[in-house]
Structure 1
Amino acid sequence: MYRSVVRGVGSYLPEKIMTNDDLSQIVDTSDEWIRKRTGIERRHIAADDEFTNDLAVAAAERALAAADMSAADIDLVILATTTPDNTFPATAAKVQARLGVTKGPAFDVQAVCSGFIFAMTQADNMLRLGQAKRALVIGAEIYSRILDWEDRSTCVLFGDGSGAIVLEAVDSEGANNERGVLTTILGTDGANYDKLYVDGGVATSGNAGCVRMAGQDVFRQAVARMSESVEEALEKAELTKDDLDWLVPHQANIRIIEQVGKKLGVSRDKVMITVQEHANTSAATVPLAMTHGVKHGHFKEGDVIALTAMGGGFTWGAIVLRW
């Protein structure tokens, strides 16, 4: 029996910063309005010559360094992204080549803001089945290129960035007091397909399109789905909310984050919050928040940590792991 253990994390944010005041120069909004409703203070914007594979490679290299591993140690690369470099091949293939990984598969996962949870779950399944030994799981997005910069209901919410983790399969007896991924939960409700989507695509319009969102519906569903999936994952791991040391939620909006923490009974000082620094980076927010937690020494060995997200589709999921 194998269990997936986190060996290293890393993240990358583009150099260019767009503040709320900068946004107020191009759309009818203000720093006060954005902070009050979202908690966002700034977002990072990829340079014109920067692509999703560039962001992914930068985060991956940092995760490998943190794990004290090299490309030769990796035999699985999974990239969660909504903004691939090309329609095909998978951007993960380019990332694999640039990193110098020569073993195993590399592929993309598309579940929007839940993408990293889906990708990490896929990696965990493959490691537990012995199909790989060490996996590089990445979330990387350039949302600035699929935003309508005249729509203040969406353009103020998103940014560009990436995060990555290295997972390793280790021998396990299956006990919940052992380190590693304990449980994973995934869900999709296609009936809400048009609540959060991009109004373009290869088959429908031939162009990338822009993000469109029914904000109130997304808010309600995000709070419910994220909190419920964490509860389900804890129960599956034979743990309770009282066992939870850290909640690492998708960084979409401070009000969603606070409501999820409240529903789960997790005190605010145990909820990882980084949305103010980079806004909603979709599939990258969870690994960005994980990297923040490691960098600041928040996670201690043996801590029970819940990761959760909800995205367009709707998709959602949660992962409970012991650090």
Structure 2
Amino acid sequence: MRTVIKGLGHYVPENVVTNHDLAKLMDTNDEWIRERTGIVERRHVGRDGDEPTSVLGFKAAQKAIENAGIDKNEIDFIIFATLSPDLYFPGCGVQLQEYLGIDTVGALDIRNQCSGFIYALSTAHAYVQSGMYKNILVVGAENHSFGLDMTTRGRGVSVIFGDGAGAVIVGASDDESRGILSCNMHSEGKYAEELTMQFPGTKYGWADNLLDEDFKIEIEKIYPHMNGNFVFKHAVTRFPEAIQEAFEDAGESVENLKMLIPHQANLRISQFIQKRMNLSDDQVFNNIQKYGNTTAGSIPIALSEAAEQGKIQKGDLVCLAAFGSGFTWGSVLLRF
């Protein structure tokens, strides 16, 4: 049996935040943001919005289920990837199970940030291949805007991230012309604090400290921190490594690649990889320009859009790749 993607869907909030909008909140401008990231606009729920991460994932999941042409009750497992859960615990997977009204199926949460969807899809593939589950709902979703530092102090991070969700239905098929061909996952934890959000977390205390009026914590630990140049240098090395590994494991040639869908971290990273691999513009799908970096949501959103726009068809060789916080990275090669 092959592990195939049976359906896709994505959802982004209606609220569009342009670079010009951000320039009203911090010392930045459209040219500065475009030059460094390629981003023109992104979607934000906002701090007072009514779409927490689980709801974003639910809306994407509904579309994926419809696109797959299955009944929701045919789903026998849920995998939810996010770094921005609604609650400290439990994770969003069980909330999604409740929203969908699926009777007591298992729900797994994955915390691998930018490579979360790669880890989730690889895990789903293993479950399908083992025969344990037949139809798995895999979701990548983020609500970043609730916790970004929207001041000049935080502009190096805050201009990059957006909100959104993507979902796929993964299942077993006897169609030998389709399916996942290879997966790889890697990590390098010594760089954990080069891209991190440290609080709340047990390393810096929790409830008792918050109740102490003398408790102080550095502002840098409350908001996301990124050593931008350091992350960029590692990303442009690990991305091509993971992609090459996927092709070697599958015994496929890069010359047969129809579409590379990289995690939408930075348009400059995608362009660097494209040039290094000698790929044409038609072989790399980018949508960071209008959505920003949606972390675990970026690959499934892009995959869903690429299919929706007819840029990938059944049987096409497609490579998904990601690098991010952890550091973690990996790739999935599949016949769509």
TM-score by length of 1: 0.95
Q: 2:108 corresponds to which residue? A: 107
Q: 2:58 corresponds to which residue? A: 57
- In the alignment, the residues of structure 2 paired with residue 305 and residue 317 of structure 1 have an alpha-carbon distance, to the nearest angstrom, of 14
Q: 1:153 corresponds to which residue? A: 156
Q: 1:255 corresponds to which residue? A: 268
- In the alignment, the residues of structure 2 paired with residue 264 and residue 161 of structure 1 have an alpha-carbon distance, to the nearest angstrom, of 29
Q: In the alignment, residue 56 of structure 1 is paired with which amino acid? A: G
- In the alignment, the residues of structure 1 paired with residue 327 and residue 79 of structure 2 have an alpha-carbon distance, to the nearest angstrom, of 21
> Aligned-pair distance for 1:102?
1.8
Q: 1:9 corresponds to which residue? A: 8
- In the alignment, the residues of structure 2 paired with residue 300 and residue 201 of structure 1 have an alpha-carbon distance, to the nearest angstrom, of 43
Q: 1:304 corresponds to which residue? A: 317
> Aligned-pair distance for 1:266?
1.6
Equivalent runs, 1:121-136 vs 2, <5 Å: 121-136=122-137
- In the alignment, the residues of structure 2 paired with residue 22 and residue 95 of structure 1 have an alpha-carbon distance, to the nearest angstrom, of 32
- Name the stretch that deviates more: 84-93 or 308-317: 84-93
Q: 1:288 corresponds to which residue? A: 301
Pairing 1:165–2:201 present: no
Q: 2:42 corresponds to which residue? A: 43
- In the alignment, the residues of structure 2 paired with residue 217 and residue 178 of structure 1 have an alpha-carbon distance, to the nearest angstrom, of 40
> Aligned-pair distance for 1:103?
5.2
Q: 2:217 corresponds to which residue? A: none
Equivalent runs, 1:256-271 vs 2, <5 Å: 256-271=269-284
Q: 1:275 corresponds to which residue? A: 288
Deviations 1:18-50 (A, max 9, x none): 100000001111011111211101111115222
Q: 2:182 corresponds to which residue? A: 183
Q: In the alignment, residue 11 of structure 1 is paired with which amino acid? A: H
> Aligned-pair distance for 1:202?
3.1
Q: 2:215 corresponds to which residue? A: none
1:154–1:211 Cα contact (<8 Å) kept? yes
2:45–2:146 Cα contact (<8 Å) kept? no
Deviations 1:71-115 (A, max 9, x none): 111001000000111121121001011112225311110001000
- In the alignment, the residues of structure 1 paired with residue 105 and residue 185 of structure 2 have an alpha-carbon distance, to the nearest angstrom, of 24
Q: 1:78 corresponds to which residue? A: 79
1:241–1:265 Cα contact (<8 Å) kept? no
Deviations 1:237-275 (A, max 9, x none): 001211211000000111001111222222122100100
Pairing 1:244–2:243 present: no
Q: 1:195 corresponds to which residue? A: 194
Pairing 1:230–2:229 present: no
> Aligned-pair distance for 1:205?
4.2
> Aligned-pair distance for 1:118?
0.4
Flag structure 1 segments of 5+ consecutive residues without an equivalent.
none
Q: In the alignment, residue 281 of structure 1 is paired with which amino acid? A: T
- In the alignment, the residues of structure 1 paired with residue 294 and residue 164 of structure 2 have an alpha-carbon distance, to the nearest angstrom, of 6
- Secondary structure (helix, strand or coil) at the match of 2:73 reads helix
2:199–2:222 Cα contact (<8 Å) kept? yes
Q: 2:216 corresponds to which residue? A: none
Q: In the alignment, residue 10 of structure 1 is paired with which amino acid? A: G
- Secondary structure (helix, strand or coil) at the match of 1:89 reads coil
- Displacement over 3 Å in runs of 4+: 205-208
- Secondary structure (helix, strand or coil) at the match of 2:222 reads coil
> Aligned-pair distance for 1:171?
3.3
Deviations 1:99-147 (A, max 9, x none): 1222531111000100000001111100110110001100000111222
Distance 1:193-1:26 versus aligned 2 partners, 3 A rule = same
2:184–2:245 Cα contact (<8 Å) kept? yes
1:248–1:308 Cα contact (<8 Å) kept? yes
1:14–1:161 Cα contact (<8 Å) kept? yes
> Aligned-pair distance for 1:184?
0.3
> Aligned-pair distance for 1:70?
2.0
- Secondary structure (helix, strand or coil) at the match of 1:308 reads strand
Percent of counterpart pairs with the same letter?
Answer: 38
TM-score by length of 2: 0.92
Root mean square deviation of aligned Cα = 1.4
Q: In the alignment, residue 255 of structure 2 is paired with which amino acid? A: D
- Name the stretch that deviates more: 134-143 or 260-269: 260-269
- In the alignment, the residues of structure 1 paired with residue 104 and residue 247 of structure 2 have an alpha-carbon distance, to the nearest angstrom, of 34
